[in-house]
């Protein structure tokens, strides 16, 4: 034997449709009239099993899973929210070689009460089913392993991107602190008040006051910062270089809001290591902001350059690389608040880059605007 399923088809002919109640007939409902009386499907199947026929009903018998039916047992079957039924279930292999678990009959639905299932699987079918179960278990284990690794990677990435003390960050959001400010987080705690916020204190330079505390600090919400490095370098020269060029390099990182692009905590350490290995790259990043190479360049020059194109052009000139490397060493000695000297250094860097690249945007001197009082006086 195997899985046997009985299907009952109603073939009766309707003689008169149902008449619903109206105020004229006193809301009396008249059911539809057929050429044969209505019989419950379970009774039709029972008559079929006795070798009898019922007028107006046809019974179709379907048999499948011959030689492959196994694991026949009763199970609880969910029917919906807080609704369960008990029925007979079985596993079989179809003609395509796929294994399926089906509900043969249930107690709560009389239409399938006479459906039967008997285990008749051959030894070859049982061995194939055991191999199928092993393959399914291996697939489930692999999916769980991949999901666990992805979850662990996400947790590690979130931990790296979380603002905390002694991490090196860049301010990319907010209004009170200039965008692009970099520094070491020396304070990170939830503020008091009606609207608690995780606040971060950022030291924007290595300078210390008389008490040994950071002298140049800014305060902002931790959500406004992006982590660049997990810890500060140990050598003083590396720290000085980090404060001098980290903001310029961070400005050229790819937009992490784009799907599939890593955040600054992942991309900055890689780019920083490469830039430190070829220090002339730091000078290129510091000399041209993204605005210099895109928006304003379209207005000032017909030949536009991306930062990657500029790096390729400079890399092809060993003399330019050597000159920029020496300028990088000189930049570490310039204080961050000495804007005049920094502008001169930037112009010197651009003087080396422009011959290598060709036409590139060079910022024009800002024109002094006449104030309203000066205009009236004139």
Q: Give the closest residue to 216 by CA, choosing from 250, 168, 246, 182.
A: 182
Q: Which CATH number fits domain 162-263: 2.30.30.30, 2.60.40.10, 3.40.920.10, 2.40.37.10?
A: 2.30.30.30
Q: Give the closest residue to 1 by CA, choosing from 90, 79, 131.
A: 90
Query: Mean pLDDT per segment of 10 residues, for the chain of length 378 residues?
Result: 86 90 79 91 90 92 92 86 84 92 78 80 94 95 96 91 93 91 93 88 90 91 93 89 89 81 88 90 86 56 68 89 91 82 89 78 57 54
- Predicted local confidence at residue 295, as pLDDT: 52
Tokens (6 digits) for 17: 């449709």
Q: Give the closest residue to 311 by CA, choosing from 344, 280, 270.
A: 280
- Predicted local confidence at residue 375, as pLDDT: 52
Tokens (6 digits) for 102: 């089906």
Is the whole-model pTM more than 0.75? no
- Predicted local confidence at residue 306, as pLDDT: 76
In angstroms, the CA 334 to CA 347 distance is 14
Tokens (6 digits) for 130: 């055991």
Q: Which residue has the tokens 């971060």?
A: 200
Q: How far is CA 317 from CA 325, 327, 361, in A?
A: 12, 16, 20
- Predicted local confidence at residue 364, as pLDDT: 56
Q: Identify the three-state secondary structure at position 75.
A: strand
- Predicted local confidence at residue 296, as pLDDT: 47
Q: How far is CA 303 from CA 70, 310, 348, 354, in A?
A: 75, 12, 21, 12
57-64 and 70-80 beta bridge pairing: unpaired
Tokens (6 digits) for 73: 């047992």
In angstroms, the CA 264 to CA 254 distance is 8
Phi, psi of 226 (to 5 degrees): -120, 130
Phi, psi of 292 (to 5 degrees): -65, -35
Q: What is the chain's Cα-based Rg?
A: 40
Helices and strands (DSSP H and E) totals, the chain: 11, 12
The DSSP letter of residue 66 is T
Q: Give the closest residue to 243 by CA, choosing from 178, 346, 336.
A: 336
CA 35 and chain centroid, separation: 63
- Predicted local confidence at residue 59, as pLDDT: 93
């Amino acid at each position: 034997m195997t899985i046997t399923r009985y299907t009952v088809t109603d073939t009766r002919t309707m003689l008169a449709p149902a008449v619903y109640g109206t105020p004229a007939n006193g809301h009396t409902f008249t059911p539809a009239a057929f050429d044969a009386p209505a019989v419950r499907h379970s009774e039709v199947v029972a008559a079929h099993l006795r070798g009898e026929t019922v007028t107006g009903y046809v019974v179709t018998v379907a048999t499948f899973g011959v030689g492959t039916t196994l694991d026949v047992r009763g199970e609880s079957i969910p029917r919906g929210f807080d609704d369960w039924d008990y029925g007979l279930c079985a596993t079989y292999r179809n003609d395509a070689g796929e294994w399926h678990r089906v509900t043969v009959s249930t107690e709560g639905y009389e239409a399938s009460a006479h459906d039967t299932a008997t285990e008749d699987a051959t030894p070859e079918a049982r061995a194939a089913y055991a191999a199928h179960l092993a393959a399914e278990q291996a697939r489930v284990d692999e999916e769980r392993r991949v999901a666990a690794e992805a979850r662990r990677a996400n947790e590690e990435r979130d931990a790296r991107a979380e603002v905390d003390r002694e991490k090196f960050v860049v301010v990319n959001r907010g209004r009170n602190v200039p965008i692009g400010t970099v520094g070491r987080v020396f304070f990170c705690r939830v503020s008091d008040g009606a609207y608690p916020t995780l606040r971060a204190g950022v030291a924007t330079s290595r300078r210390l006051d008389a008490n040994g505390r950071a002298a140049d600090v800014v305060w902002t919400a931790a959500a406004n910062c992006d982590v660049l490095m997990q810890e500060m370098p140990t050598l003083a020269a590396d720290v000085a270089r980090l404060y001098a060029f980290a903001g310029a390099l961070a400005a050229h990182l790819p937009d992490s809001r784009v799907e599939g692009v890593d955040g600054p905590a992942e991309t900055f350490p890689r780019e920083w290591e490469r830039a430190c290995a070829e220090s002339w790259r730091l000078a290129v990043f510091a000399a041209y902001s993204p605005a210099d190479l895109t928006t304003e360049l379209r207005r000032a020059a017909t030949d536009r350059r991306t930062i990657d194109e500029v790096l390729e052009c400079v890399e092809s000139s060993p003399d330019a690389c050597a000159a920029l490397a020496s300028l990088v060493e000189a930049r570490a000695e310039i204080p961050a608040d000495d804007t005049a000297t920094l502008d001169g250094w930037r112009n010197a860097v651009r003087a080396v880059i422009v011959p290598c690249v060709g036409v590139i945007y060079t910022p024009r001197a800002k024109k002094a605007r006449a104030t309203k009082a000066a205009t009236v006086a004139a």
